[in-house]
Amino acid sequence: MKRANTKKAQTKRNKPEMSAEYDFSGGVRGKYAAQYNSGTNVVLLDPEVARAFPDSKSVNDALRALLTIAGRAKIRRRSA
C-alpha cells in the first residue's frame, strides 16, 4: 500500500509587482506615522480574553467599569 501524500500542492504566488492602476509616485512615506503613534496604544490580549470581547468598545467599557470599581475601593480603604 502506498503512503498518502501529506504535502500541500504548491499554488501560484502573486506577482511581486504592483498593478499599473495603483500610482503612489506622489505619496510621502510615513506622513502620518507620528500622528498615528501619538494617539494609539496597541495592547495584545491573550486569546481567551480576546474571545470575551468582540470589539474595542466592549474592552473600553469593561476597563472603564474596572476603573470606577478600583476608584471606589481606594476611597473605602482610605476612610477605613
Sign of the CA dihedral 55, 56, 61, 65? positive
Residue 46 has pLDDT above 90, yes or no: yes
CB 59 within 8 A of CB 53: yes
Burial class (CB in 10 A: 0-12, 13-18, 19+), 78: exposed
pLDDT at site 76:
66
pLDDT at site 74:
73
Residue 79 has pLDDT above 60, yes or no: no
Give the mean pLDDT of 24-43. 86
| H-state helical runs in 1-80 | 33-38, 47-52, 56-79
- Grid coordinates of 57: 468598545
pTM: 0.45
